[in-house]
Structure 1
Amino acid sequence: MRSIWNGAISFGLVSIPIKLVNATENHSVSFRQVHAADGGRIRYRKVCELEEKEVTQSEIGRAYEDADGSMIPIADEDLAALPLPTTKTIEIVAFVPASAIDPLQMETAYYLSANGVPAAKPYTLLREALKRSERVAIAKFALRGRERLGMLRVVDDVIAMHGLLWPDEIRKPEGVAPESDVAVREAELDLADALMNTLGEVDLETLHDDYREAVEAMIAAKVEGGGALPEHAPAEPEGGKVIDLMAALENSVRAAQEARGDGAEEPAGEEARVTPIKGRRAASSPKSSGGTKKSTSATAKKTAAKKAAAKSTSTASKKTASGSTGKTASGSAKSASAAAKKPAAKKSAQRKRSSA
């Protein structure tokens, strides 16, 4: 990688020669301006307004435009005379936790490379010190004619530097938040949490620029065949519609679960409930109903058989009881008749003896 700046890191009394290289690159597809009628290239020419003629780069200087529109010339010597101790130095001024840096301040990222063999030892010392302290270094440096703020941190085995905006360059978010008071229910928060949990984490390496790929494919098709890819109707914007927030959250959770193949998992905080159909038993099913009918029929048959057996037993018992009672009564009558006949016989015998 080509270096864009050479200097040194000032770490107390330690000086570390380094080279500054870009840590990022732009992959966006760039276009040129052309004349629509004939395809001719459109170019910008630098023209002096007073003389109305084109000038070269060597003839161009710099000036500051005052409020009244007048130009105040600024020469290179004027800028060189200004006190700028960080012209070739990345001066570390403090070490702070990474959480102390607002992401809104972060700008371009750079890699810092040790410049030469003598720089390897102090470079490694600073890298290991940052690792062990779990902090980042705040530094000041000058690049492209102005002093900037930077944050040094360790990425793998390299010291990286993020350009930072100065604190007064961050605008206050006044008038951005909703002005009216909005109440959010716990159920809505639960569904939002469920949606976040369902979407889960993502490997950033798997994300890519779909639009850039479509543009590249369209250009390749034009180069090969001179034609354009089939046009796709743009999706209609859904903004401005009044929606049911709860329904939208529930549908989002369901769609995310289906996309992840999680099945019909219930959202966090919601309990599964069964709503019975009117006119039917909620716990019954066609198979269980048939089994119930069969078991009920068998039970009825058994009950009827038991009743019949009990009835016959009762009848037999009555007959037996009736027969035994009749025999007993007849025997009692016979014995009573015999007992009555004996005194009568005795009296008749006595009468016969007295007559004789």
Structure 2
Amino acid sequence: MHTIWKGSISFGLVNIPIKLHAATEDKDIKLRSLHKECHTPIKYEKVCPACEKELEYEEIVKGYEMTKGKFVVLEDEELKELKKGNEEKAVEIVDFIKMEEIDPVFYNRSYFISPNDGGKKAYSLLRKALTNSKKVGVAKIIMRSKEQLAVVRVFENTLLMETIHFPDEVRSSGDVPNVPAENEVTDKELDTAIMLIDQLTTEFEPEKYHDEYRNRLMKLIESKQTGEKFVTPKAKQPKENVTDLMAALQASIDKSKPKEETKKTKTTKKKKRTSAKKAQ
């Protein structure tokens, strides 16, 4: 597994030399933009619209837009000077908390942590301590010249670090438009909705979820590569247009009922009909 960062974890006086490895990977299928006429990949060049010329790397500087069309220019040397204080590569755990206290909206990216040379015993100690205490460590780390907040926890016997957003990076839910202020549902609707949730509740099995669009896209690409004719499945029958909330909930519950229950109901009805005929 490729190492993307080397440094150390520290909590109290304990220091653990570590390596970070990306815990996830982007499996999006990358499509290039081509010239329709000759199928040549299109280039995206850095062009100054005012001077109408393509720019070299050394002709470009960083700038912050203070107001529309007015920038403060920041030189490379000035930025390098600011970064000098952030060069120490350490994950400093500053607090320990319960994981359920962090809302998932704060999570950003995940990294596996492995011990570097001489760090196995201290690594095992932190892993065991976090497991037994049922806590996670809140830490600060400098990555790519940026200070980030992170959580250190145990995942399948491996230490995992997840970068999390700072509070001012999470937008206020109060700014979301058209959210109803009060509950406009009846007790019967609520009870029916909870019944549906109970029927559909199961244990989380990540293996059963797949990126269906990516799979279909790959099949299309492969069929074109081999010259085969690509066929699409028949369109699904449109669902009934149920506008009433209670009817929609009840239809969902009926649809989610086990087939055996339906069979039992049919068998019971059949027996009742037979008994009625005999009685006649």
TM-score, normalising length: structure 2: 0.84
| Residue in 1 that maps onto 2:223 | 221
CA distance in 2 between partners of 1:176 and 1:132 (Å): 43
AA matched with 2:168: D
- What's the secondary structure of 1:193's corresponding residue? helix
- Which residues of 2 match residues 256-295 of structure 1 at below 5 A? 256-257=256-257, 260-264=258-262, 285-289=276-280
AA matched with 1:285: A
| CA deviation string 1:12-43 (max 9, x = no partner) | 22221111111000111110011123322111
- What's the secondary structure of 1:31's corresponding residue? coil
- What's the secondary structure of 2:213's corresponding residue? helix
| Residue in 1 that maps onto 2:180 | 179
- What's the secondary structure of 1:285's corresponding residue? helix
| Residue in 2 that maps onto 1:328 | none
| Residue in 1 that maps onto 2:12 | 12
- What's the secondary structure of 2:248's corresponding residue? helix
* Identity score, percent: 36
| CA deviation string 1:261-320 (max 9, x = no partner) | 342399xxxxxxxxxxxxxxx9x712123xxxxxxxxxxxxxxxxxxxxxxxxxxxxxxx
Kindly state the Cα deviation for residue 233 of structure 1 after the two structures are TM-superposed: 5.2
Kindly state the Cα deviation for residue 227 of structure 1 after the two structures are TM-superposed: 4.1
| 1:87–1:141 Cα contact (<8 Å) kept | no
Distance 1:70 1:36, change over 3 A: same
| CA deviation string 1:180-233 (max 9, x = no partner) | 644322222222122122222142211111111111111111111164433765
| 2:6–2:19 Cα contact (<8 Å) kept | yes
| Residue in 1 that maps onto 2:144 | 144
| Residue in 2 that maps onto 1:210 | 212
| 1:86–1:147 Cα contact (<8 Å) kept | no
Distance 1:164 1:86, change over 3 A: farther
| Residue in 2 that maps onto 1:78 | 78
AA matched with 2:41: R
CA distance in 2 between partners of 1:42 and 1:36 (Å): 10
Question: Between Structure 1 and Structure 2, which shows a larger proportion of strand residues?
Answer: 2
| Residue in 2 that maps onto 1:99 | 100
How many equivalent residue pairs?
Answer: 272
AA matched with 2:91: I
CA distance in 2 between partners of 1:81 and 1:231 (Å): 60
Kindly state the Cα deviation for residue 2 of structure 1 after the two structures are TM-superposed: 1.1
Task: Report whether the alignment pairs 1:230 with 2:232.
Answer: yes
- What's the secondary structure of 1:91's corresponding residue? strand
CA distance in 2 between partners of 1:53 and 1:185 (Å): 65
| Residue in 2 that maps onto 1:167 | 167
CA distance in 2 between partners of 1:147 and 1:25 (Å): 23
| Residue in 2 that maps onto 1:67 | 67
Kindly state the Cα deviation for residue 64 of structure 1 after the two structures are TM-superposed: 2.5
AA matched with 1:261: K
| 2:86–2:145 Cα contact (<8 Å) kept | no
- Which residues of 2 match residues 22-41 of structure 1 at below 5 A? 22-41=22-41
Kindly indicate whether structure 1 or structure 2 has the higher relative contact order, using CA contacts under 8 Å at least 6 residues apart: 2
Q: Report the RMSD for the aligned CA atoms in angstroms.
A: 3.1
Q: Which runs of 5+ in 1 are unaligned?
A: 267-281, 290-356
Kindly state the Cα deviation for residue 255 of structure 1 after the two structures are TM-superposed: 0.7
AA matched with 2:279: S
| CA deviation string 1:158-195 (max 9, x = no partner) | 11011101011111112446336443222222221221
| Residue in 2 that maps onto 1:110 | 111
- What's the secondary structure of 1:45's corresponding residue? coil
Kindly state the Cα deviation for residue 150 of structure 1 after the two structures are TM-superposed: 0.5
CA distance in 2 between partners of 1:53 and 1:24 (Å): 40
- What's the secondary structure of 1:43's corresponding residue? coil
Larger Rg: 1
AA matched with 1:120: K
Kindly state the Cα deviation for residue 235 of structure 1 after the two structures are TM-superposed: 8.2
Task: Report whether the alignment pairs 1:253 with 2:259.
Answer: no
TM-score, normalising length: structure 1: 0.68
